[in-house]
Amino acid sequence: MTIRTYRPTTPGQRFKTTLGFSEISKTRPEKTLLVSINRVSGRSRGKVTVRGKGGRHKRNFRVIDFTRDKRDIHAKVAAIEYDPNRSANVALLHYKDGEKRYIIAPVNLKVGDELLSGENAEIKTGNALPLSRIPIGTVIHNVEMVPGAGAKIVRSAGTGAIVAAKEGKFVHLKLPSKEVRKINAKSFATIGQVGNVDIKTLTLGKAGRSRHLGKKPHVRGVAMDPRSHPHGGGEGRSGTGMHPKTPTGKRAMGVKTRSRKKTSNRMILSRRK
């Protein structure tokens, strides 16, 4: 996908870049796969729980098929569409039985391609198979952590995991973060790398584009007064003067948040750090 640049007629246009949308083949989404979503704007029960969120552009949610549970039924790629809710594009599939579903669009997927999900599917971009049937060294995405629960990891644009090894009931995956993790061999994954790779090189160019994404300005704690933040106050420019804290006074950095009770920790063979 091409990257568009603009003439610097305004300060906001000078560094602004956007995607060329050369892969997009359909501009209107499939109405039967749309769901309206409410804008919570970082609030829980009306109270702000996450600062700096709100005011984004209105959008509808596209129902994505992360389970790929229509097994051994051929589907044809009808269109590649833009999805405002994620970094990757989505592909509209028309199944032989007449059903329509969205999936994450991988690299080099084109309109007219035929896809299949099942244990006997071909090792081909866009096909979904159990990890036990995927050869070592294959790049995959849309990976289930629990068989049948739907894909939870490797779904962002440009990402791809590598099948590193197989060990009994588990498969070793090297994730985009360099973490090596054991996944159940019965879990389904999709062949290929997630498309829209160039989105990581975009420059927003102006504050307004951040506001359209729902990102409000973030004020530093040291720039506030002491009543508004523990880091505030002081004459001139000053540091925090303490261990970093949240506006409510809790430790903000260095606190371990991963639960020891989760069994997921035991599946990690090599940490990303």
pLDDT of residue 262: 66
* Confidence tier at 209 by pLDDT (50, 70, 90): very high
Would you tell me how many other CB atoms lie within 10 Å of the CB of residue 11? Answer: 10
Distances (CA, A) of 147 to 58, 76, 77, 265: 34, 25, 25, 18
Domain boundaries, the chain: 17-38+59-200
* Confidence tier at 105 by pLDDT (50, 70, 90): very high
First-residue to last-residue Cα distance in the chain: 32
Which residues, 6+ apart, have CB-to-CB distance to 195 below 8 Å?
1, 23, 88, 89, 104, 105, 106, 107, 108, 109, 157, 158
Asked if the model's pLDDT at residue 2 lies above 90, the reply is no
What is the mean predicted confidence (pLDDT) over 15-22? 91
Whole-model pTM: value is 0.89
Closest CA relative to residue 89, chosen from 79, 76, 98, 101 = 79
Distance CA 111, CA 79 (A): 6
pLDDT of residue 22: 87
Q: Match 């610097």 to its residue by tokens.
A: 8
The per-residue pLDDT of the chain, averaged, comes to 93
The predicted-structure confidence for 132-175, as pLDDT tens digits, reads as follows 999 999 999 999 999 999 999 999 999 999 999 999 999 999 99
262 or 232, higher pLDDT = 232
The CATH code that applies to domain 17-38+59-200 is 2.30.30.30
The predicted-structure confidence for 20-46, as pLDDT tens digits, reads as follows 888 899 899 999 999 998 888 899 999
Helices marked H in the chain:
11-14, 207-212
